[in-house]
Amino acid sequence: MYALIAMATSLLLLVVLLRLKVKLGRSMLLAAVGLAILLGVSPTEFWRAVVEEWRAKPLSQTTGYLFVTLTALVILVNVLGVAMRETGVSQRLVSALQGLFKSRRFALAAIPMMMGMLPTPGGIMLSAPMVRDLGDHIGIDRSHSAAINFFFRHQWETVWPLFPAVPLIQGMFGISAFVLISHNIALTLAGTLAGAVFLLLRGIPPKDRQASPKTKLSDDVRNFVGAFWPIVLVATLYAALDIPPAIGVLAAIVAFLAFHRVSLDRWRKIFKAGVNCDFAFLVLGALLFKLNLQAGQAVDSVVAFLTEMNVPTHLLIFLLPMLVGFLTGLTMPSVAITFPFLMPFIGTGAEAKVGLETLAFSGLVCGLLTTPVHLCMALSASYFETSLAKILVRVIGPVIFIAGAGALMAVFFG
C-alpha cells in the first residue's frame, strides 16, 4: 500500500511543479528524485540496480544506453524539423498532404499511424514535425495536434508483431498469432474509431477557411516524397540493418541538408536551433522514475497488494496491467511483470480464454495512454508546447472506448 502512496505522491509533485511553470523536463527529473526519497532508495541501492541492469539485460535495454540514444533521437528529430522548415519543405508538405489525401482529418491520423508501425522508443517524434506543421496550417490548437499524434501513434501495439509484447504474450499463453491478433484487433479498431470521433470530428475548422489553390498530383507526390524520404530512410535503416534510430536520423539530416545544398554556415545554425536541453532532462527523469521503481521493488509491492485484497477476477485482470502500465509508462516491462500473475485466470494453450487476455491488454493500454511518465506523452507536451493535462483531457474519451472494447471481449470470448 505504501508503494502506491509513494508513487501517487511523486506524480502529484509532478503536477504541482508543472502548475508552478517549472519546465517539463526539470519537473520530471525532480519527481523522480522525490520518488527515490519516498521509496527509501539509497544511492547504494540505486547503484546496485544500475549494475544489475548491466549484468542481466542487453545493452540496448540499460538506462545509460537509453538515455544517450533517446536524448540524441529527440534532439536530432527536432533538428530535422528545423531543417525542413528552413528549406521550405514543411510548408510544401502541408499542401501536398491535403492534395493527396483530400481529407485533412485522414492526413492528420494517417501520419502517426504509419510511423507507429516502427516500434522504437521515443519514435513518436518521427511524426511530430509533420503533424505539428499540418495542424498549424489547418488552424487547430497545439494540444489537439499533440493528442492526435500521441493517440494514433499507439494504435498498433496490441497487434503489430514488431512490438515485442505481442510475440511475448503469444509464447506465454501458447496460442497462435492468428488467435491473439484476431482478438486484440478489437482494441485497435475501437481505438481508431473512437479517435476519429473524439479527435478528428471536433475542433477542426471548416475547410473553406483554409482555402488554397489546387495543385497538380505530380507536384503533391513530389513534395510528399521530398518531406517523407528522411523518415523512410530512418525506418529502413532500423528495420533492415538494425541501425539505431538516432544514428539513422543523423544520417537523414546530413543527406537532407546535402541534397538541398544548404551551406555549411547554415548547418551550425540549424543544429543549434534544434538543441533543447530540457529534452535531456525529460528523458533522464522518465528513465530514473522507472529505475527507482525497480530499485525500490515498488511494482512487486503493488502486485502483492492487489492479489492480497481479493479483488474480483475480471477487475484484477484489467486493473493490474493498468496500474503497472500507468506507473512505468512502458509496455514490455508491464507485460513481463503482470501477465504471468494472470496466467492462472486466463489459461494457456487450447484452454486459454483469449478474451480475458484482451481485457488485460486493454487495461495496459489505458494505463499507458493516461500516465504522465509515458515518455511519448511527455515528449508530445514538450514538442507541441502544451500541457500534459490538455493532452489527457482529449484522449480520455477514446481510452474509455478501449476499456469498453476489452470488457466486451471478456464477456463474449472469456
Helix 24-38 with 2-19: angle, nearest 10 deg: 150
d(CA 224, CA 228): 6
Helix 375-383 with 124-138: angle, nearest 10 deg: 40
So what's the pLDDT on residue 13? 84
DSSP 247: H
d(CA 178, CA 196): 26
So what's the pLDDT on residue 121? 59
d(CA 29, CA 13): 11
d(CA 163, CA 181): 12
Task: Give residue 30's identity as a one-letter amino acid code.
Answer: L
Render each residue's pLDDT in the chain as its tens digit; 414 residues: 787 788 778 878 877 887 787 887 888 788 888 888 988 888 888 888 888 888 877 776 678 887 888 788 778 877 887 888 788 887 777 677 767 777 788 888 988 888 777 666 566 877 888 888 888 888 899 999 999 999 999 998 898 876 767 877 887 788 888 899 899 999 999 999 999 999 998 878 877 544 555 667 787 888 888 877 887 887 788 767 778 778 888 998 999 999 988 888 889 898 888 887 887 887 788 778 778 877 887 767 776 777 777 778 899 899 989 988 887 787 876 786 778 778 888 888 888 899 999 999 999 999 999 988 788 888 888 889 898 899 999 999 999 999 999 999 999 987
Helix 165-173 with 331-346: angle, nearest 10 deg: 20
The C-alpha cell at 27 is 519537473
Q: List helix spans (H) across 116-263.
A: 124-138, 142-153, 165-173, 177-195, 217-241, 245-259
DSSP 199: I
Q: Provide the whole-model pTM.
A: 0.71
DSSP helix, strand, coil percent of the chain (3-state; round to 5): 80, 0, 20
Residues with Cβ < 8 Å from 80, sequence gap 6 or more? 129, 230, 249, 252, 253, 256, 274
Coil, strand, or helix at residue 201? coil
d(CA 79, CA 72): 10
d(CA 160, CA 187): 12
Helix 277-295 with 43-56: angle, nearest 10 deg: 90
So what's the pLDDT on residue 142? 94
So what's the pLDDT on residue 213? 55
Helix 43-56 with 63-86: angle, nearest 10 deg: 80
Task: Give residue 386's identity as a one-letter amino acid code.
Answer: T
**Residue 351 CB burial class (10 angstroms; 0-12, 13-18, ≥19):** exposed
**SS3 per-residue string spanning 28-79:** HHHHHHHHHHHCCCCHHHHHHHHHHHHHHCCHHHCHHHHHHHHHHHHHHHHH
Greatest distance between any 2 Cα atoms in the chain:
67
d(CA 131, CA 112): 8
d(CA 148, CA 200): 8
CA torsion 59→65→69→70, rounded to 10°?
Answer: 110
So what's the pLDDT on residue 14? 78
d(CA 316, CA 345): 10
Task: Give residue 155's identity as a one-letter amino acid code.
Answer: Q
Residues with Cβ < 8 Å from 172, sequence gap 6 or more? 339, 340, 343, 348
Phi then psi dihedrals of residue 255, to 5 deg:
-65, -40
**Residue 111 CB burial class (10 angstroms; 0-12, 13-18, ≥19):** buried
